[in-house]
Amino acid sequence: MGNILVITELQRGKIREASYELLSFAKKIAAAKGHSVCSVVLGKDVAAEAEAFAKRSGGPVYTVANPVLENYNVDAYCTAIQAAVDKAKPELILVSHTPSGWDFAPRIAARLDAGFVSDCFNIDATGDLVFVRRVFGGKMDARVAVKSTPVVATFQPGATEACQDSAAGSVEALDVAIDAGALRTKFVEVKAPQAKGVDLTKAEIIVSGGRALGGADKFKEVIEPLAEALGGVVGASRPVVDAGWLPHERQVGSTGQVVSPKLYIAAGISGAIQHVVGMKGAQFIVAINKDPDAPIFEVASLGVVGDLFEIVPALTKAIKAAKG
């Protein structure tokens, strides 16, 4: 039967955990469909990591080693991956949904005239292959069926366990010419995050507001007094920061700060994945939202279905009264 090609990803010289998770999905599909798994490792120095990967993957592990692959570059990556695709002729290409994966995977799909499905968190290989992913920011799930192959699919990091198998794989270096001068997108640098004026990660109590607040003035009127009464700090979801109501340093989520306070109050936040990733480690979560179906209630310890403009001021008043 056909091949499944796993595109691994190096981070600081090591293959990411997410690549071993891809391997778990690849093996599950291979077992159900009678496919074989092969992989590719691309980077500057790849030999040791390719050997390590082969010991868990089995099958051939192709390598493309080139100094221009040290930092992510879409043109260089596409050239290297194309070489592995030519070798493996895969039915299915699996990629992690990471900042590099989501950048090159659709481009590879278009180059190969292949189907594309992204950010999957599960598969169903019992019948025709189906990918499961979220849509509408987590409000709905979708089952996406493959109509024709090849297909390129990206997977959410953390969606499954990393593959821990022992296997006897082989490493094969591919000779790929990459013309550094012909790269159209040029890597300049990676900038580390700047020191934050507010460190939400150390806060014991965080009161966060979402898009439902409607404006910066409402944060001052409604959210800040509650945070102050509790001796906590103010946080926010991404739309609030995007709209400029609060500075970026207040953002809780995968692209902001990942927090783990003793108490997290989420007011008017629907609970998109990107926010939940940043706050699900809180010890106690109170969610206030007018939509009873909001995904935030799935991670909350206590929920209030109602109008935050009534509930939050009432809570502020009650806390002040309790403190005397």
Partner 1 sequence: MKILVYLKQVPHQDARLDVSGDGTWIKEENIKFEINSYDSYALEEALKIKDQDATSEVIVVSAGPERVVQALRQALGMGADRAIHVRDDSVDATDALGLAKTLANVAKAEKPDVIFMGFMSDDGNFAAIAPMVAELFGVPHATAVIALTRNGDTFIAERELEGGNLEVVELKAPCLIAVQTGINQVRYASLKGIMQAKKKPVDPKSAGDLGVAGQLAAKVAIEKIYVPAKSATAEILQGSADEIAEKLVAKIKELGLL
Binding residues among 295-324 for partner 1 as defined by CB under 8 A: 297-306, 310-311, 314-315, 317-319, 322-323
18: part of which helix (H) or strand (E)?
helix 17-33
- Asked whether the bond before 292 is cis by omega within 30 degrees of 0, the reply is no
147: part of which helix (H) or strand (E)?
none
Region 260-299 residues binding partner 1, contact defined as CB under 8 A: 262-263, 283-287, 292-293, 297-299
Per-residue DSSP letter, 44: S
Q: Which is nearer to partner 1, 59 or 253 (CB)?
A: 253
Which residue in 141, 156, 160, 162 sits closest to 298, CA to CA?
141
Binding of residue 238 to partner 1 (CB under 8 A): yes
The only residue of 53, 72, 245, 264 in contact with partner 1, by rule CB under 8 A: 72
d(CA 14, CA 11): 5
Q: How far apart are CB 168 and partner 1 at their closest, in Å?
A: 33
Q: How far apart are CB 185 and partner 1 at their closest, in Å?
A: 4
Region 12-71 residues binding partner 1, contact defined as CB under 8 A: none
Binding track, positions 166-185, relative to partner 1; x by CB under 8 A: ------------------xx
The only residue of 9, 21, 49, 75 in contact with partner 1, by rule CB under 8 A: 75
Rounded (5°) CA angle 81-163-271: 85
Residues in binding contact with partner 1, number by CB under 8 A: 91
The residues, any chain, with a CB within 8 Å of residue 202's CB and separated by 6 or more, are: none
For residue 54, give both structure tokens: 């082969």
Binding track, positions 204-233, relative to partner 1; x by CB under 8 A: xx-----x------------------x---
Q: How far is CA 260 from CA 83, 167, 217, in A?
A: 44, 38, 27
The only residue of 28, 33, 107, 280 in contact with partner 1, by rule CB under 8 A: 107
